[in-house]
């Protein structure tokens, strides 16, 4: 998990990147608690984005449940930018449904502490994170595999830019892992993508598309590709309901199986907040 030293490094980095915070005597500086609007967008097609969702894998009898969210805690309004500090926690569960029984195969925990900065159309996210992955229930016996303790502590930097012409944004960034098990000394994960469309069909219905691509050094720069098409239904202030189809191909997001490749067709219900 995140240590005191890691948090101290993040605070120092934050102050180095934004020295004008201490020099804002001539600017309007406002501090807010629990702001309603996030300044960094949700990466809609990212299979490990912090979210509250339930997915049906149409290729088999699997389900994927994600229980979590990213909550803005503090917001600093400057004359030139808006800065937010958030807490983000999600558990990702792979569930197998058989008649009269539900088996939880895997439970993955992900925690991030991001600082997000918004300047006009540009947003930047800088933070530290942790992910750990575990088998659950009778998974070891059912899968015929031994347990793998997979832990990843990382720094994350990603930038997003709003593009009016596509009705969305493009983004690019990376994770640098400073502590990993069992694969070591292959620290880089590179990520690019876009969310686009947001075309209103009815008063409470709009359609969108999203693409996400990740490449990982730990699998010799193998990739995970996600393509999503969905609907946003009944938006109500902070909350959106999304129903989406996702085609995900390449190396598994469940990193106990990082050497495995799979193709998933997913039908998912999301609640964004």
- Rounded to an integer, what is the distance from CA 28 to the centroid of its chain? 32
Distance CA 13, CA 84 (A): 15
| Threshold 0.75, pTM exceeds | yes
In sequence order, what are the residues at sequence separation of 6 or more whose Cβ sits closer than 8 angstroms to the Cβ of residue 126? 10, 13, 14, 17, 114, 115, 117, 156, 157
**pLDDT at position 20, please?**
43
**pLDDT at position 8, please?**
53
Task: Say what the alpha-carbon torsion angle 253, 94, 1, 261 is, to the nearest 10 degrees.
Answer: -20
Answer whether 183's CB lies under 8 Å from 205's CB: no
Domains and CATH numbers, the chain: 4-272 (2.40.160.40)
Give the residue ranges of the chain where pLDDT is below 50. Answer: 12, 15-16, 18-27
**pLDDT at position 93, please?**
93
**pLDDT at position 126, please?**
98
């Amino acid at each position: 998990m995140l240590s005191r030293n890691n948090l101290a490094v993040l605070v120092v980095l934050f102050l180095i990147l934004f020295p004008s915070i201490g020099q804002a005597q001539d600017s309007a500086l406002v501090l807010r608690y629990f702001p309603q609007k996030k300044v960094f967008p949700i990466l809609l097609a990212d299979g490990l984005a912090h979210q509250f969702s339930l997915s049906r894998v149409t290729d088999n009898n699997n389900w994927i449940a994600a229980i979590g969210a990213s909550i803005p805690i503090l917001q600093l309004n400057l004359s030139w930018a808006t800065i937010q500090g958030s807490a983000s926690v999600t558990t990702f569960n792979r569930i197998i449904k058989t008649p009269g029984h539900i088996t939880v195969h895997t439970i993955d925990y992900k925690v991030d502490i991001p600082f997000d900065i918004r300047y006009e159309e540009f947003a930047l996210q800088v933070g530290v994170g942790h992910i750990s992955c575990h088998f659950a229930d009778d998974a070891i016996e059912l899968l015929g595999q031994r347990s793998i303790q997979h832990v990843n502590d990382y720094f994350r930097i990603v930038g997003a830019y709003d593009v009016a012409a596509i009705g969305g944004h493009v983004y690019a960034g990376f994770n640098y892992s400073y502590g990993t098990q069992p694969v070591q000394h292959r620290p880089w994960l590179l990520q690019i993508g876009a969310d686009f469309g947001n075309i209103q069909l009815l008063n409470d219905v709009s359609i969108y598309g999203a693409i996400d691509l990740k490449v990982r050094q730990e699998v010799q720069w193998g990739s995970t590709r996600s393509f999503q098409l969905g609907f946003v239904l009944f938006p109500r202030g902070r909350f959106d309901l999304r129903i989406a189809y996702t085609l995900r191909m390449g190396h598994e997001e469940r990193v106990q199986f990082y050497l495995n490749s799979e193709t998933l067709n997913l039908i998912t219900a999301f609640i964004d907040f």
